[in-house]
Amino acid sequence: MHDWKRKDLIAIYDLNAKEIELILDTAEEFKKVSKRRIKKVPALRGKTVVNFFVEPSTRTRTSFELAEQRLSADIININASSSSLIKGETLLDTAKNIESMEVDFIVMRHSAVGAHYFIADNVKCGIVNAGDGAHEHPTQALLDIFTIREKKGRIKGLNVTILGDILHSRVARSNIWGLLKLGANVTIAGPATLVPKEFKSIGVRVTYDLREALENADVINLLRIQHERQRSAFFPSIGEYASIFGLNTKTMRFVKPDALIMHPGPINRGVEIDSKFADGAQSVILEQVTNGIAVRMAVLYLISAAINK
């Protein structure tokens, strides 16, 4: 039978290739649920999910909420501003209180790396990481990989370039681990200040030359320039970034005509990518959003069995 034993999904780093493939296969069937007239199955009927977002999020939280509702779970949202964390309650106390209300899953976003492991070790609820600092964002990577597999039919042997602010990106880290485990060739590229060369040691190709990064790429995953995290200057100006590392008419000449263009959103139009290409035939950006719900349904469904143990 199947080898899903985890009650938590915290990092792609923790998974093996078989587990990743099981999530992707399961997501394929859940994707169909959202295409039906009745977009709901009773798989998590009677289960309660708390979406606990200590860091703000709109799209990830909306995607999780829809996934939970389409699985028939009951859901509650707690934001940092409305939680007792601001009254001085510790994170563990908050989690223990949630657990005491017989909650089955906590979907959590938190800026502190390790917070999820700590909570997972201390409560019986299943913990799903919806982003922790610059560490991991596993469901984003899963939906990216799902989209690539759906479009290209495989992951093994594909050349995937991740372009932009790798340094601050949990999306990049989760993608890198997942893609490497499934046998893709991963290149990271961007300004030297934002692309740590240490990634070479895990088998990632590092380049600061856009042309080299784009040529031969089957997939180009663009990362958002994160103004809100960028307190010191990593590059001279947004305009300079756009002209050197943005996808525009000039740089798109290096891109293979069948390469997929991806972006986890929200897009800074005219910075990472010009509108013409963000909305162009090679872009799968909105399909990523669609697939996010299916992947999150699959993750919650799979861990639901482990919670019962």
Partner 1 sequence: MNKKQLKRILLNRTETEYYIQKIVLSICREFNKKFEDIALIGIQHKGFYLAEKIAELIKSKTKISVPTGSIDISMYRDDIGTRRSISKIYETNIPFDVEGKAIILVDDVLHTGRTIRAALDAITDYGRPALIRLAILIDRGGREFPIAADYVGKIKKISKNMKVTVNFSSDNKKPIVYLHQNKIKSGVA
When binding is defined by CB under 8 A, the residue of 13, 17, 21, 41 that contacts partner 1 is: 41
In the complex, the smallest distance separating the C-beta of residue 122 from partner 1, rounded to whole angstroms, is 23
Q: What are 29's two structure tokens?
A: 């069937």
Q: Does 2 bind partner 1 (CB under 8 A)?
A: yes
When binding is defined by CB under 8 A, the residue of 44, 179, 293, 300 that contacts partner 1 is: 44
Among residues 255 and 302, whose Cβ is nearest to partner 1? 302
In the complex, the smallest distance separating the C-beta of residue 43 from partner 1, rounded to whole angstroms, is 4
Burial of 66 (C-beta count, 10 Å sphere; 0-12/13-18/19+): middle
How far apart (Å, rounded) are the C-alpha atoms in residues 141 and 264?
Answer: 9
Q: Does 47 bind partner 1 (CB under 8 A)?
A: yes
**Three-state secondary structure call for residue 105:** strand
Contact 272, 299 (CB under 8 A): no
Segment contacting partner 1 by CB under 8 A, of 49-57, 231-239, 260-268, 296-304: 296-304
Among residues 2 and 197, whose Cβ is nearest to partner 1? 2
When binding is defined by CB under 8 A, the residue of 13, 14, 21, 43 that contacts partner 1 is: 43
**Three-state secondary structure call for residue 209:** coil
Q: How far, CA to CA in Å, does 246 sit from each of 29, 272, 281?
A: 36, 4, 18
Q: Does 124 bind partner 1 (CB under 8 A)?
A: no
Count of C-beta atoms within a 10 Å radius of residue 200:
11
Q: What are 235's two structure tokens?
A: 């590059």
- The upper half-sphere exposure of residue 18, i.e. CA atoms within 13 Å in the direction of its Cβ, equals 5
Q: Does 146 bind partner 1 (CB under 8 A)?
A: no
Q: What are 250's two structure tokens?
A: 């000039």
Segment contacting partner 1 by CB under 8 A, of 27-35, 136-144, 203-211, 230-238: 27-35
How far apart (Å, rounded) are the C-alpha atoms in residues 56 and 130?
Answer: 11
Q: Which helix (H) or strand (E) holds 205?
A: strand 205-207
In the complex, the smallest distance separating the C-beta of residue 306 from partner 1, rounded to whole angstroms, is 8
When binding is defined by CB under 8 A, the residue of 16, 18, 36, 59 that contacts partner 1 is: 36
How far apart (Å, rounded) are the C-alpha atoms in residues 191 and 120?
Answer: 36
In the complex, the smallest distance separating the C-beta of residue 99 from partner 1, rounded to whole angstroms, is 17
In the complex, the smallest distance separating the C-beta of residue 18 from partner 1, rounded to whole angstroms, is 12
Q: Does 18 bind partner 1 (CB under 8 A)?
A: no
What residues line the site for partner 1 (CB under 8 A)? 1-2, 4, 25-26, 29-30, 32-33, 36-38, 40-47, 301-302, 304-305, 308-309
